[in-house]
Structure 1
């Protein structure tokens, strides 16, 4: 008979912890056994601290990987520039004023509660209280939508509810993983239902070569890529993907056994990492750093089912471990001074083209038409900010016989939504959102003279490429994952222009100075993310 072994037999926890200054934890002997007894306010304090920390700070390993891009002679100029912007962003965010990303995410909490742990109250309520306090007291953005009916929903205004999963385990410690997951990276989680046929070295690599480019850049690479092969249910596969992307399973064994436990395949990780380096996507705008690293977890499976999960942790790599033991409350120690990873000498964009956005739109387009795809640009002047809801409202206005407003004709449109503005500052964290969500409106608006130049992150549909070719439009890619840098250093003024009642989703008029971007789609039908074009040019 096969002996029982935990499905995820993790090795020793190697994280460094700091002890929090909070009471509410004691040990008591009950029935001859020692219990860790926790008061709810200790749990709330831990959750509040955890989400404050991960909104602003990063793990040492993540920062080291960014710095290694700057030191790699094989990294492209665009790779290095993105890495430098992300390091500058981390340095700004570490001041605990601007969050690292404007999409401050869904609060996700995974807990492992020892059998000899007692909590005087409701664990979920205590954790949620900490989440609510974090979002209420800091310059974060409320993102959770409450469904009032099947088709009507409203922002909860608290960033609750949180996703809280608590598992009963042995021992007398309460261990946590806190994750803030933004919508962009969450949307790049995929489940594939395959068959035994794909479990062949050649076929498996063909599968990944076809699927990994589809991740695109909307979730802000360089990525921490997680792949899970197998699983006794689809749900187990996807949960393992999420945990693997946070490095939670790094201490798994590297070989399987008849017990069916999970293991890491280090060799396949290296092979897939090399594959991602050869895609040409790089750290958003060309190069080798599409991924920092890869984790591949192999799980047992039902003989008739082979789920494969793929997911990422993005440049806002926000997670940390924590624990409550009889000795107190402990939080994983994150880096509070990322400046040590910045280079001593400034690295610039090289041949970046400066563009005055206060020129008439036709003159802006006349400059852009001369620039090849992948060209870096520095933008200064006025942009209009508008996202999904505004685009839908403007489309409705046109359908009812109205006209597009002049602001969307006369200025570039930046797809973004701000976090709260720190006191005394011009702007809050204000990074780009995923461009593809506005794709259905581009052809309609460009035919009417609007949205001739759009700015956001990620790849766009063929519909947008065709429209830009037909109407003389352009799409510029902004650096995803550097929202604090944009808010503090590149935006000089922000004011509401239209749809004020929509709050964060309103139309904003912003003034920018040396805002970096790259030409992604031009007026000739060229698209940076057209991999057929890349293959032909490399041939």
Structure 2
């Protein structure tokens, strides 16, 4: 192609990010052969990454907090929408103190950058950013979540939260532009690619397709979501990377129309239509209502004539992205909200009272009480819970299959699906929010049939097979608010002790004592499912 025919795929408008200058970072500008060169010390890159991930673990963007406050101010919001929004704002206030992170899943560290060709760093940028990331995860109360494969089947936690995903592209000029993202497993698992074809490109077919796919997202990744849809792409990889960037609001200033060059653009009209669809699903901000999504981005990309990839993804309530730049003027980091309390209303809202559930009573007594309540009932849990998640379930399933002796804790107490972050000095617990319950769905039939954990607590919706198993074996599934890990730790957990499988680290089996932990009855012993009853297409 002739040079005159080239046009950038992503034609960004002005950068409107509110940056804070961190200092000069030892950056030096030198002129050589008529051009200005920016010399950036390796340690400056490490320090910037360390600071970016430290801040994003505890602070959110003001725009995101304003959207949560808007839920409280909307007269059409239901009690459950308001309850979740208020809990997430309360959680943000606690996390902003700097001890407990916003979410127990402090995420995979992602760095996406564009390095001007006149920026000189010595060429070890990935190693430098990794050093800064490892420093933050080692010294803050964050969680190590990355598993190294020792063989095809055996894994071990790396103990550093490395490796990180780091992608640096070349660009013109003498600026270094960066985006730091902490992406938790729950929202990452709600990223999808659909290989479609030209037949999808009619208004009716496209809207029906998007409505169907959006409904399948469910509540497991802690809504309200920022939702991104990408239609087209020159490869599957490009489509999904564009989903990630759109979820970070890094593509907000794209043009709003296409042209013959194939440039990417936002479709504001379809964004409004999809947002309206999300309002009607009935899932709401986790437990019913209209605020399933804060907003929607729809990005249209060029494509090969024989391929139409469609990407879908979300950013959850732990909406952790921070833009940065290094220029001749110094090192700059996006300004996050240090005082989220300004978004909370002065007075507590009146919401429907919760039904108290005494977890100190025998399991049969708890089940009898839950059996009298309709799904959707707001609960308040006080007493002991056993904490276990993926690897513990796998190990216990092997014991059960081998006919081994099972510990009493499997039958004496409900199970809470969770894996905590590190415990700050002077506190009982680290951030300790729920993990995605559906990851344990494959164990439910076998466990319930054996009398193991007839009551489970987690976040999000579950499969029809779980509801059927609960009906057959008298089980219950309770949901608690996802995205409020700091608040759960500080306000509701009174003790934590390790019971079993200490070698699993954050996935070890624990016993915790909770007080007034908020929850909802999602699936009962008749197989009734709160999410399927409210929104059949979202089950």
TM bracket, shorter-chain basis: over 0.9
* Cα shift at 1:348: 4.7
In structure 2, the partner of 1:211 is 213
- The match for 1:485 is 487
Maintained 8 Å contact 2:193/2:236:
yes
Q: Cα gap change, 1:348/1:414 in structure 2, threshold over 3 Å: closer, same or farther?
A: farther
Partner of 1:439: 441
How far apart, CA to CA, are the structure 1 residues paired with 2:55 and 2:268? Answer: 31
Q: How many residues align?
A: 535
Which string of whole-angstrom CA distances, capped at 9 and with x for unpartnered residues, describes residues 226-253 of structure 1?
Answer: 0000001111000000000000000000
Task: Flag the 1:191–1:40 CA change in 2: closer, same or farther, 3 A.
Answer: same
Question: Secondary structure of the residue that 1:392 maps to in structure 2?
Answer: helix
| Residue 356, structure 1, aligned to residue 355, structure 2 | no
Equivalent residue, structure 2, for 1:24: 26
Higher mean alpha-carbon deviation, 489-498 vs 1-10, is at 1-10
- State the 1:106 CA deviation: 0.6
> Following TM superposition, by how much is the alpha carbon of 1:405 offset from its aligned partner in structure 2, in angstroms?
1.7
Indicate the larger mover: 398-407 or 286-295: 398-407
CA contact (8 A) 1:386 1:414 kept: yes
Q: In the alignment, which residue of structure 2 is the partner of 1:178? A: 180
Task: Identify the residue that residue 140 of structure 1 maps to in structure 2.
Answer: 142
Assess if the C-alpha contact under 8 Å between 2:283 and 2:535 holds in 1: no
SS at match of 2:445: helix
* Counterparts of 2:100 and 2:79, CA distance in 1: 27
Give matches, 1:138-537, under 5 Å.
138-530=140-532, 534=535
Task: Say if 2:128 is the partner of 1:126.
Answer: yes
Deviates more, 1:437-446 or 1:381-390: 437-446
Contact 2:358–2:383 (8 Å) recurs in 1:
yes
User: What secondary structure sits across from 1:529 in the alignment?
Assistant: helix
Q: CA deviation at 1:145?
A: 1.0
1:330-379 CA-to-partner distances (Å, cap 9, x unmatched) read 10000000000011111254131111111111111111111111111011
Whole-angstrom distance in 1 between the partners of 2:114 and 2:305: 30
Q: C-alpha offsets along residues 27-76 of structure 1, whole Å, 9 cap, x if unaligned? A: 01111211111000111110000000111100010000000000111111
Residue 404 of structure 1 deviates from its aligned partner by: 2.8
**Over aligned residues, Cα RMSD in angstroms?**
1.3
Aligned-residue offset at 1:392:
1.5
Distance of 1:388 and 1:127 partners within structure 2? 30
* 1:479-526 residue CA offsets vs partner (Å, 9 max, x unmatched): 111101111111011011111222211110000111011111001110
Which residue is equivalent to 2:57?
55
Query: TM-score, normalized by length of structure 1?
Result: 0.98
Q: Distance in 2 between matches of 1:406 and 1:88?
A: 36
User: TM-score, normalising length from structure 2?
Assistant: 0.98
Q: 1:85-120: CA deviations, max 9, x gaps?
A: 000010011111111000001110001001111113
Moved more, 389-398 or 406-415: 389-398
* Residues 24 and 329, structure 2, Cα contact 8 Å, conserved in 1: no
Query: Does the 8 Å contact 1:37/1:118 carry over to 2?
Result: yes
Shift of residue 210, structure 1, vs aligned partner:
1.1
Distance, in Å, in 1 between the alignment partners of 2:203 and 2:122 is 52
Higher mean alpha-carbon deviation, 446-455 vs 283-292, is at: 446-455
Aligned-partner Cα distance in 2 for 1:535–1:44 = 48
> 1:471 and 1:349, CA in 2 relative to 1: closer, same or farther beyond 3 A?
farther
Q: Aligned partners of 2:536 and 2:13: how far apart in 1?
A: 43
Deviations, residues 284-327 of structure 1 (Å, cap 9, x unaligned):
11000000000000001111110000000000000010000011
| Deviation, structure 1 residue 534 | 4.5
The Cα shift of 1:21 comes to 3.5
SS in 2 for 1:93: helix
Whole-angstrom CA distance in 2 between matches of 1:142 and 1:496:
18
- Out of 63, 70, 74, which is 2:72 matched to? 70
Structure 1 unmatched runs, 5+: none
Aligned residues of 2:58 and 2:95 also touching (Cα < 8 A):
yes
Q: 2:23 aligns to what SS in structure 1?
A: coil
CA contact under 8 A between 2:218 and 2:461: conserved in structure 1? yes
In structure 2, C-alpha distance between the alignment counterparts of 1:313 and 1:255, rounded to whole Å: 25
Separation (CA, whole Å) in 2 of partners of 1:253 and 1:499: 53
Pair 201,121 (structure 1): closer, same or farther in 2 beyond 3 Å? closer
The runs of at least 4 aligned residues of structure 1 exceeding 4 Å deviation read 533-536
| Cα contact 1:22–1:42 (8 A) shared by 2 | no
Distance 1:429 1:236 in 2: 34
